[in-house]
Amino acid sequence: MTTSHLDPRLTERRNPRTAAIDLASPLEIVDLLNTEDRTVPDIVAGERVAIARAIELAESTFRRGGRLFYVGAGTSGRLGVLDASECPPTFGTDPEMVQGIIAGGVPALTRSQEGAEDVAADGAAALDARGVGPSDFVIGIAASGTTPYVRGALERAIALGAYTGIIACSPPPAELVARLDVAILPITGPEAITGSTRMKAGTATKLVLNTISTGAMIRLGKTYGNLMVDLRAMSQKLVDRGERILMEVCRVPRAEARRLIDAAGGSVKTAIVMAKLGASRAEAERALAAAGGVIRRVINEPPPPVE
């Protein structure tokens, strides 16, 4: 029997466990898909060392004033854009700090632009358009491990001297991996629906991206314990969250929390230091800068215990 029809990319192989899914009841479909999905967290955990390395590279990048770029196509690109877009409201970052680049540009976020992924030169051009240089970190996201657009971007990033990494759910070319600073390879295997990498591969990618960006922001002092102290109050929910954090940490009533945040220019982190040290805004900002942005290094005490 010939096997020439088999795709070398694991994400494109057929999954024997779901071969009869077209005859399944709704409940059976749920069970089949859930069985596949439950394998993903353990597979991602197997890449823990590489993910930690990516966090280190991202922290180093940010501390030297560089930017983190995610580059992908299709689902991979959309997940990169999603993670990047959530950093400003969650961690109070400048939108330039973490950026998502997707093949096909903005239209590809809501409508498939499948052919856009096939032009490697476009991936390189996207980095040039953003002025990527040695101080930046470029992570290519390619579920299949072979997307030309992503390969082109990574080749350009290497040439520019930037940190480079890849997230792939099928082994990328070994000669490319050997030239990258980090390779995160949660090999999720054949999808429940052949080639539909928005499923297990997409879930694994989301978990990895969450961990990289969150881990780097924690290292930068964007949290106090597990409290989100550098959030940007862009909605009523976030305004309320900021006030509640100050009330909990500093044991003050809401009116005082609101006053402190206003006096701190809207920064919950700065307001906490002002309250704890009896400092002015300028003094609190200087102390935080000297401590690398980490509250605990300034006030030398943990947040209150969880009630």
The tokens for 205 are: 């990618």
Q: Are 190 and 9 in contact (CB under 8 A)?
A: no
Query: Does 86 participate in catalysis according to the annotation?
Result: yes
d(CA 166, CA 172): 9
CA distances (Å), 238 to each of 63, 233, 296, in order?
26, 5, 22
Distance (Å, rounded) from C-alpha 46 to C-alpha 37?
16
**Tokens read off for 273:** 């230091």
Quick one: tokens of 162? Answer: 């930037």
Distances (CA, A) of 186 to 17, 30, 51, 116: 20, 23, 10, 25
- Bridge pairing between strands 227-228 and 137-141: unpaired
- Annotated catalytic, 114? no
Helix (H) or strand (E) holding 224: strand 223-224
Enter the tokens of residue 200. 């297990």
Of these residues, 36, 47, 59, 117, which one is catalytic?
117
Instruction: Tell me which of 86, 248, 256, 283 is the catalytic residue.
Output: 86
Bridge partner list, 224: 227
Just list the catalytic residues: 86, 117
